[in-house]
Amino acid sequence: MQLKNLHKITATVVCETGLHVGGNDGEMHIGGIDNPVIKHPITNEPYIPGSSLKGKMRAMLEWRSGFVKEKPLDWQDYKQSGSEAVLDILKLFGMSAGADLTVDEASAVGPTRASFWDLALDPAWVREQHEARRLLTEAKSENVINRIKGTAEHPRQTERVPSGARFSMTVTLKDLGDDERLMKTLLAGLKLVEFDGIGGSLSRGYGKVRFDDLKIDGHDATELYRSIDPFRPL
C-alpha cells in the first residue's frame, strides 16, 4: 500500500435557502435567539464544521448503499453484505477506533481517505454584506399551529445563515491506487447532499445548497460533477 497522491477537491457552497447548523451560545440572553448557529470563536462568523458535511455525506451514501442501520457501517456490515459500496464508504470515512480487525482486514480498508476541512464563509461575500450593512445571519421565527383554535403558539426564533451566503469547501482525498472509484463515490456523496440538504430543519425548507466552481487539484471538474448520477452503480 502506497500513498500515490493527495487530491484536493474545492468548491463554493452556495446557500439556496437559509442554513442552520446549530451551536451552543453558552449564555442566556433576554430576548436572544433560541437556536443560534455555530460561530467561529475568534471571528464570530458562522461556519459549517467539516464534520457536519462528512457526517451528512456518509449518512446519505449509507442510505444509498441499502445497508443503512442505526449506527455507522463497520467491517462486519461489509463481511455480511459483500457490498463494494459499503467497502467504499469504510475507505472514505473510516471506522471507529475500537474496531477489532485482523491485519488482512485492516489492510483491505486502509487509512481513512477523505479529510473534510471546516467551511468558512467566502471573504468576498462577507465583504459584500458589510458594505451593504447587512448582518451575516437572520432570525427566522417559528411556531406551532393549534389545529383546533387555528392560532400560532410557542413562538421561537432560529438563527440562520441567509439564502445567497457562500462558503469555501475543501476536501482532500488520499490516493492509494483506488482513487478513481473513490473520487466518483465522493462526488456522488456531494450530489446527494445537494439533493437533500445540510443542517437542521430540512423538512421546513432549510439547508438547501449547491456546489459551484468545483475543482480537483485546481482543474475545473464541473462537467465530471454534472455527469455523476448518485443512484447509478459505479
Domain edges within the chain: 5-227
Model confidence at 28, pLDDT cuts 50, 70, 90, reads very low
pLDDT at 33: 57
pLDDT band at 164 (very low <50, low <70, confident <90, very high): very high
Residue 149: which pLDDT band, with cuts at 50, 70 and 90?
A: low
How many angstroms separate the Cα of 151 from the Cα of each of 46, 140, 158, 160?
Answer: 33, 18, 20, 25
Average model confidence (pLDDT) for the chain?
Answer: 89
64-113 pLDDT, tens digit each: 999 988 889 888 888 888 899 999 999 999 987 667 788 888 888 889 99
| Range with lowest mean pLDDT among 20-34, 69-83, 159-173 | 20-34
pTM: 0.87
**Range of lowest pLDDT (11-20, 75-84, 167-176, 203-212):** 75-84
> Residue by residue, what is the 3-state secondary structure of the chain?
CCCCEEEEEEEEEEECCCECCECCCCCCCCCCCCECECECCCCCCEEECHHHHHHHHHHHHHHHHCCCCCCCCCHHHHHHHCCHHHHHHHHHHCCCCCCCCCHHHHHHHCCCCEEECCEEECHHHHHHHHHCCCCCCEEEEEEEEECCCCEEEEEEEEEEECCCCEEEEEEEEEECCCHHHHHHHHHHHHHHHHHHCCCCCHHHCCCCEEEEEEEECCEECHHHHHHCCCCCCC
> Which of these ranges, 12-16, 59-63, 115-119, 174-178, has the smallest mean pLDDT?
174-178
**What is the grid cell recorded at 87?**
467497502
How crowded is residue 84: how many other Cβ atoms within 10 Å of its Cβ? 14
Q: What is the pLDDT of residue 40?
A: 95
Instruction: Give the pLDDT band of residue 141 (cuts 50, 70, 90).
Output: confident
Q: Is the pLDDT of residue 169 over 50?
A: yes
